């Protein structure tokens, strides 16, 4: 694991640092209860509860809250590989695709295992000084292990000019 990625992962695993990050940068995710449960260089698991602030009128988790958790499971992996990179790299979501299979009526867990894709794309972006994209997959499951939703989130990476 690179020292930069390890530093980012350590910050995301610290409950107070992570909550301060969410509160200041992603307040909607903070109030909805989105949390990173596991993270390393290769995978990230993020959860979102079914509660008053994340519900829809149909007694399930609102799709936007599910989307936040899916995006965070992919984005946290990307950010780990970008943390303190030289040159700095910007990242941006360019596309979100989703399918829903089952009502999310409890806590949902979104898992992304595309760390290698992010690592390679970012290395290519730095080496070739050309933008790169990654279409990352995040699968959401309920506590019974049933798939509730699947997201494909496309991230764009570009080296910032000095």
Mean pLDDT of the chain: 93
pLDDT-derived band at 2 (thresholds 50, 70, 90) equals low
Look up the domain containing 14 and give its range: 3-159
Give residue-wise pLDDT tens across range 105-117: 999 999 999 999 9
3-12, 110-119, 122-131: which has the highest mean pLDDT? 110-119
- CATH code of the domain containing 105: 3.10.129.10
Per-residue confidence (pLDDT) for residue 113, from 0 to 100: 98
Per-residue confidence (pLDDT) for residue 66, from 0 to 100: 97
Once rounded to an integer, what is the mean pLDDT over residues 19-31?
91
How far is Cα 150 from Cα 139, in angstroms, rounded to an integer? 5
Query: What are φ and ψ of residue 104, in 5° steps?
Result: -90, 100
Give residue-wise pLDDT tens across range 34-66: 999 999 999 999 999 999 989 999 999 999 999
How many structural domains is the chain composed of?
1
**Of 88, 96, 39, 94, which Cα lies nearest the Cα of 66?**
96
pTM beyond 0.85, yes or no: yes
Task: Return the structure tokens found at 26.
Answer: 């992603």
**Of 65, 47, 46, which Cα lies nearest the Cα of 55?**
65
**Of 156, 87, 88, which Cα lies nearest the Cα of 118?**
156
Per-residue confidence (pLDDT) for residue 145, from 0 to 100: 96
pLDDT-derived band at 3 (thresholds 50, 70, 90) equals low
């Amino acid at each position: 694991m690179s020292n930069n990625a390890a530093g980012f992962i350590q910050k995301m695993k610290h409950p107070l640092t992570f909550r301060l990050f969410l509160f200041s940068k992603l307040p909607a995710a903070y109030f909805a209860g989105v949390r990173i449960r596991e993270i390393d260089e290769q995978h990230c698991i993020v959860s979102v509860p079914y509660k008053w602030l994340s519900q829809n009128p149909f007694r399930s988790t609102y799709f936007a809250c599910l989307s936040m958790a899916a995006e965070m499971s992919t984005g946290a992996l990307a950010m780990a590989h970008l943390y303190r990179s030289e040159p700095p790299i910007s990242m941006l979501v360019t596309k979100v695709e989703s399918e829903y299979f089952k009502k999310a009526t409890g806590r949902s867990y979104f898992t992304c295992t595309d760390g290698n894709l992010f690592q390679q794309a970012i290395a290519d972006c730095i080496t070739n000084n050309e933008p790169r994209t990654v279409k990352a997959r995040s699968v959401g499951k309920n506590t019974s292990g049933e798939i509730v939703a699947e997201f494909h989130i496309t991230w764009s990476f570009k080296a910032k000019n000095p």
